[in-house]
């Protein structure tokens, strides 16, 4: 019996020729990442254990993004603690505010992680980089501290769910709609501790932004990791990363064997999927856009780690161009990183957003976590391209968040209600 791509990557990192689902292994880590919130806890664990040295300062990333720019004294002190730890241990991938962005976008675009590698991150959406053909999973701060100390992660090999995609995307449909449709169909715990492997002829229809979005939201179905095989689209992306251009690092590409065993196999025809909207209060409470149109809204958030890629910026800008945000709606556009922000400015997208009446923000997780930079008030309704819409996720417990793709979010911002781009 062959192995899946996830099993092959994990086997290669624990010194075995073969691993099987359910097996407990110690896998070597190529990158152990934390944001300022998970890092502060990991640093405490690291220090409490009496550890004095990072196993390899070139394989650690510290990326402040949740409460940046710092919103108050507490968040400023946390950021300072992480900064001093990074300087003390000469962390290669510590990138300061204004030069980085949201962790998942920064790791990908800088080439901190490569195909065939193992990434663990102190954030549940660390699954994002699985779009690059690596094993990427979120873990707790204790696991991060342990990895900093010894360079390994203790974990159970996940079973795999094979997601076979076919068909062409309809107009205004993106990877966000595909993953929302899948989560609706399998439920928010339908892939618990599984590797969600996206494959099939339809993958060629998905650009890297779509793939990052789908891997990012695989965790909303309970997945341990979400992963795509490497193809020409992946390789082009990797070769354009900052690290690859400077260092030309080697990496290994893995493919699932034809006789690999999957716990579950699902097939989806993307050509029949229309834009999807996840209604309150779960990413699994998904309905076709046509079922929820006309609901009036107060706010729109476009971007963040889920849909803050340059392709997402272009999709939204295409809707906003020559149009104005509805007078009763406020919009915040948040590119995933400083590099994406810069590219959006160079392409004239930022000007389109500002002319339309949007706030064009620096990269931050602020509104997504209800922390700052766009918190929702009592009973407000928001269309957001983020990944979660739990009770109180983005502000007041009575506020409502509807998850949608960037084009739908932009159209809704203009019309003042949940709306399809087809209406414009």
HSE value, Cβ hemisphere, 13 Å, CA-based, for 254: 28
CB 385 within 8 A of CB 302: yes
Q: Identify the pLDDT of residue 84.
A: 97
Q: Count the neighbouring beta carbons within 10 Å of the beta carbon of residue 136.
A: 32
Domains annotated on the chain, with CATH: 5-268 (3.30.499.10), 276-423 (3.30.499.10)
Bridge partners (DSSP) of residue 165 are: 268
pTM for the whole structure: 0.97
Confidence (pLDDT) at 172: 96
- The average confidence (pLDDT) of the chain is 97
The residues, ordered by sequence, that sit 6+ positions from 48 with a Cβ below 8 Å of its Cβ are none
Span 348-372, average pLDDT = 94
Q: Does residue 366 surpass a pLDDT of 90? A: no
Q: Provide DSSP, 25-88.
A: EEEE-SEEEE-HHHHHHHHHHHHHTT--S-S-GGGEEE---TTTTT-SHHHHHHHHHHHHHHHH
Q: What pLDDT does 47 receive?
A: 95
- Could you tell me which residues come within 8 angstroms of residue 283 by beta carbon, excluding any fewer than 6 positions away? 180, 183, 188, 217, 220, 387, 388, 389, 403
Query: Do 196 and 227 form a contact (C-beta atoms < 8 A)?
Result: yes
* pLDDT tens sequence across 216-251: 999 999 999 999 999 999 999 999 998 999 999 999
pLDDT tens digits, 293-323: 899 999 999 999 999 999 999 999 999 999 9
Residue 418 in this model has a pLDDT that exceeds 90: yes
pLDDT tens, residue by residue, 377-388:
999 999 999 999
Separation of alpha carbons 118 and 124, rounded Å = 15
pLDDT band per the 50, 70, 90 thresholds, residue 97: confident
């Amino acid at each position: 019996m062959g192995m899946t791509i996830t099993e092959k990557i994990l086997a290669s990192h624990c010194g075995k020729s073969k691993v099987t689902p359910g097996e407990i292994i110690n896998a070597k880590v190529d990158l152990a990442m934390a944001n300022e919130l998970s890092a502060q806890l990991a640093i405490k664990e690291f220090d409490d254990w009496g550890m004095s040295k990072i196993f390899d300062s070139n394989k650690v990333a510290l990326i402040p993004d949740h409460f940046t720019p710092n919103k108050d004294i507490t968040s400023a002190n946390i950021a300072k603690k992480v900064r001093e730890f990074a300087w003390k241990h000469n962390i290669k991938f510590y990138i300061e505010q204004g030069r980085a962005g949201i962790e998942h976008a920064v790791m990908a675009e800088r080439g901190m992680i490569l195909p065939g590698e193992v990434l663990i991150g102190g954030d549940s959406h660390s699954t994002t980089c699985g779009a690059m053909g690596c094993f990427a999973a979120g873990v707790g701060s204790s696991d991060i501290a342990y990895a900093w100390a010894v360079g390994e992660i203790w974990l159970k090999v996940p079973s795999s769910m094979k997601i076979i995609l076919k068909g062409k995307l309809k107009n205004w449909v993106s990877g966000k709609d595909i993953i929302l449709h899948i989560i609706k169909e399998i439920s928010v715990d339908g892939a618990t501790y599984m590797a969600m492997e996206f494959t099939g002829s339809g993958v060629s229809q998905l650009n890297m932004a779509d793939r990052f979005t789908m891997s990012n939201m695989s965790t909303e179905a309970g997945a341990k990791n979400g992963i795509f095989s490497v193809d020409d689209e992946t390789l082009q992306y990797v070769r354009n990363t900052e690290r690859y251009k400077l260092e030309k690092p080697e990496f290994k590409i893995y493919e699932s064997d034809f006789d690999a065993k999957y716990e579950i196999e699902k097939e989806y025809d993307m050509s029949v999927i229309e834009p999807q909207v996840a209604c309150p209060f779960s990413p699994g409470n998904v309905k076709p856009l046509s079922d929820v149109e006309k609901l009036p809204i107060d706010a729109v958030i476009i971007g963040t780690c889920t849909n803050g890629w340059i392709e997402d910026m272009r999709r939204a800008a295409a809707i906003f161009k020559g149009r104005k945000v509805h007078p009763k709606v406020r919009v915040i556009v948040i590119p995933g990183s400083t590099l994406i922000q810069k590219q959006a400015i160079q392409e004239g997208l930022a000007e389109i957003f500002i002319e339309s009446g949007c706030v064009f923000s620096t990269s931050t997780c602020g509104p997504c976590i209800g922390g700052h930079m766009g918190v929702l008030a009592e009973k407000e309704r928001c269309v957001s391209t983020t990944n979660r819409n739990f009770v109180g996720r983005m502000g007041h417990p009575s506020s409502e968040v509807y998850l949608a793709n960037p084009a739908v979010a932009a159209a809704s911002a203009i019309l003042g209600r949940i709306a399809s781009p087809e209406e414009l």
